Chain A
């Protein structure tokens, strides 16, 4: 079942509206899930359930939350992700736009990285890939 970008965006938008209790016009492609839409860790679980249902896909936890990379001393030094760590993150999350994070790769910045657009690209890879 190949879905268009617009169809994917529409369903992702719906899922985020339901999970986060926000209005449709707040859910733009550039909006960050944490900063702009107020998502907390409890909401990520809810978002995963809703996306799995909407797109009939499986979302393993580590694909959206690379906690294992961010807590690995091989990839993180003094709270900053190393070049090796960045490479691992890019491998794990090829659909995410990491350019802003690369400019200041502090672990504490990672939480606010993901945008609605990133999520759409993730779903697109899963559904059409």
Chain B
């Protein structure tokens, strides 16, 4: 079986710049002109879809939590997103600096404030609420352990060894 490295079709973070596990994560995402979906979004004006920018924020929040927990949870599910504002377009060649910061945690729900900046200006912002979860598959299948292991591998395949600041 071929080992798939660095593969995650919907990957939105190119590299992690800084991480305080469980607290703060800073990452980058550059839009490449050869990204396939651009031909549909939009045929006459290729720009990153708003939801894809939101996904960059989401992934930053998820990894921030996962690394902070040392990948203890099989899943970190998005429960709610609020006040997502798409302030400016991102064209091919442009880069977003993505920041996710934990605001609070209450009864298993983690609130994260996340932003993306282009040339020092915030162009996307959102408030996210995430929740740790098991797979809810029958325990006899060992799905939870399997997912935990694979997600941890995925992180290292995608980002390598990321220096952590406490």
Contact flag (A, B; Cβ within 8 A): yes
Interfacial chain A residues near B127, Cβ < 8 Å: 21
Interface residues on A, range: under 10
Q: Can you show 13 pairs from A to B with CB atoms below 8 A apart? A: A18-B83, A20-B83, A21-B82, A21-B83, A21-B85, A21-B125, A21-B127, A40-B85, A40-B87, A42-B85, A42-B86, A42-B87, A43-B85
Chain B residues numbered 115-153 whose CB sits less than 8 Å from any CB in chain A: 125, 127
Interface residues on B, range: under 10
How many Å from the CB of A17 to the closest CB on chain B?
10
Complex CA–CA separation, A18 to B125 (angstroms): 14
Complex CA–CA separation, A40 to B127 (angstroms): 17
Give me the interface of A with B, judged by CB distance under 8 Å.
Answer: 18, 20-21, 40, 42-43
How many Å from the CB of B89 to the closest CB on chain A?
12
Dominant secondary structure at the B interface: strand
Contact with A along B86-109 (1 / 0, CB 8 A): 110000000000000000000000
Interfacial chain B residues near A43, Cβ < 8 Å: 85
Q: Which residue of B lies closest to A22 (CB)?
A: B83
Chain B residues numbered 60-93 whose CB sits less than 8 Å from any CB in chain A: 82-83, 85-87
Most buried by A among B82, B85, B86, B87: B85
Dominant secondary structure at the A interface: helix
Q: Given known contacts A18-B83, A21-B85, what 5 new A-B pairs fall within 8 Å (CB)? A: A21-B82, A21-B127, A40-B85, A42-B85, A43-B85
How many Å from the CB of A127 to the closest CB on chain B?
26
Interfacial chain B residues near A20, Cβ < 8 Å: 83
Complex CA–CA separation, A120 to B83 (angstroms): 22
Complex CA–CA separation, A43 to B84 (angstroms): 11
How many Å from the CB of A18 to the closest CB on chain B?
8
Most buried by B among A18, A21, A43: A21
Q: Which residue of B lies closest to A18 (CB)?
A: B83
Complex CA–CA separation, A27 to B127 (angstroms): 19
How many Å from the CB of A35 to the closest CB on chain B?
16
Interfacial chain B residues near A40, Cβ < 8 Å: 85, 87
Complex CA–CA separation, A18 to B82 (angstroms): 9
Complex CA–CA separation, A20 to B82 (angstroms): 10
Interfacial chain B residues near A42, Cβ < 8 Å: 85-87
Interfacial chain A residues near B86, Cβ < 8 Å: 42
Q: Which residue of B lies closest to A21 (CB)?
A: B83
Q: Which residue of B lies closest to A41 (CB)?
A: B87
